[in-house]
Chain A
Amino acid sequence: MMRTADALTVERLSAGYPGRPVIRDLVLPPLPGGAVTALVGPNAAGKSTLLKAFAGLVKAAGRVTFGDHDLLRLPLAARADLIGFMPQSLPQGVALSVLESVIAAFEASRPGALAGADAARRAITTLDRLGIADLALDTLDRLSGGQRQLVSLAQALVREPRLLLLDEPTSALDLRHQVTVMEAVRALAAEGRIVVVVLHDLNLAARWADRVVVLDHGRAVAVGTPAQALTSATLADVWGVAARITLGPNGVPHVVVEGALDAPPVPAAAPGVPPENSTAA
């Protein structure tokens, strides 16, 4: 069973690309284990960069503690044992089967940790857990968009990380697959993991996340339950839209955007800020 006591704490975190800082002095209240935290915000707000800073994929300074670990000072391989990162997309044209890709994700930086047969068994167990064991022998390239996302999730999950970072796992998915992925994400959090997920769709965040962090220009503008963080005022300030928030019967807020405000606060592509999809290769 997971340890539930560990929380993720962010203190004065700065992160970004050479010559292009994206996040400056970010402070977040501790993100608890067993909960799903959604990172939302407009394009170039720093959502993906924050996730990548946790995962060690971009240069970062400050302090990110997870249990007893100072994440930013852990070597890559040690960090990889704690963290599962799911990038926005899988590359095309890869001649690997689904199962092989998950085994490779397990073996990558610690070959020989398990005998080959055990690693394969562990990989298929992960696929089984996500309900996609039937895809195990399919080639990655033949999968549909939703299947690809689930396989990508399996790759992030095979080492049983205690901290799961998902970069827009539902982008380009139809409604049914969005639900499938988010249900899987909830179940993973329920086992004590910390799950941090970047989402564009505010209603998806409101429906599935326990906590929402609204980022804008690399700063946390609002943090709290979906109902606390997603208010008309925040939406007007951050996205520049007029929005009505209604509460559903179960207390889940629902965002209805009525239109753009006359003066949007900042153009989407501010100079010096990398586009949302830029990768730190």
Chain B
Amino acid sequence: MAERYDSIIIGAGFAGLAAGIRLAQFQERVLILESHFIPGGLNSYYFRGGKDKLFNTGLHTVTNFNAKNRRWGFGLICRNLGIPASEFSLVPPSRPSLIEVPGAGLDFNNDLDVLRGSIAERFPAEVEAFDRFCTDMSQLEDVQRLYGIGSRTWLEEYFRDPVLMDLLELPVYIYGGYSEKQIDAATFSTVFRSIFLEGCSSPPDIKHILDLLIKRFKSLGGELKMRKRVARIDCEGGAFRAVELADGTRIEADRCLSSAGLCETGQLAGEVWGRTCPLSVFETVVSVNAPMTDLQADYTLQLISEQERFDWKAPDERGAFDHLTLAASAFYDFAEEPHAKHFKIGCFQKGELWLGLDEETYQREKNHLEERLLQVLLARYPGLRDVEAEHCESLTPRTVVTYTSHLNGGIYGGAEKTFDGTTAVQDLFIIGNDQGGIGIMGALTSGVVVSNFQVILKSART
């Protein structure tokens, strides 16, 4: 007889673990299946050269830091997962961050007045509009309308200066630009609020939060199985029945929550859903051991567009870049100075251009882009010039495919979202990126919200 669960969750990333914890509070048998041997999906970690040399993938900037209200942001997560905020060990950045387009830049940190002051200096005529924008953002009246319009259309209702609008859009798109050209204004407002109004933070490392979530999930009786790849989703009469693993095992459940992506989940179920997004990432990390005082970083994050006019898309050519993300991961208020300091630089690439290359071309192209990014990194963090790098390596769209199974190495999920988490198949739900969950906090929220509204409240009513 096949095993049977109340709920099966595909993927032990932030969305899957959050959904697992939430469901395990109400259900007897909850199973999370992860294809990789390390949890986290896109926001994961690995070791290089020893157990104490841990590297995080992704930016590991956690937003909504100051949102302590239990219905939103960090507060909502802590309350729903039953984990006290302090256990996440999040700390704010110790330096401001920079947003830059050709000829103009803005500083920001967790104090909104820094961004406001920066705008007042460079765009004095727009300060009043910015205040109105921020006020409206914290009490949105018509969210449904915002889902239907692009972010630029919405910004134009407040601002006049296209350069300022470029500067305001850039960080939000870098954080969650799931579709080329324009993302919807509702998602834009969520991400803007999460970064600027509620502030950024960092855990000591990603493993810390993943371990915390797994411990909580298991304490509630949840089961986590690693290295179990779902090969097929079995549906019958338009409803979910079971998953079939790559090794042939069949596992039945009353429902399934998938963080594999909308297109990808559709493929597993033999359906055609969603639309892939070509946006993937190339990221180079440099690890150094010098003391912080020698490194002289002015900014924790630097978000840069080299385009004259902001136009969100991955370059058509492999190795070209328009938008850059730089991060000095050690420059947060950690109680103890991290032993190794990681500096990262990432740019956006069309995932498909990196897939299916022969090994020689792949390595050559990888080395070439890595060298160019390192030059930018050294120019932007000059303190790095005089210290020796302990380790340096790059992640490409191919790496993303390997560890997340997302088509084209998509880092924001597909270009189409199912905002309520439902699919055309009954009892099969989408969580994570393709439900609109952006970043770590977005993924956690997605797992919680879909579990609450599509599963827990519905079971209570039947």
Task: Decide whether A and B are members of one complex.
Answer: no
Q: Interface on B for A, CB 8 Å cutoff?
A: none
Q: Interface on A for B, CB 8 Å cutoff?
A: none
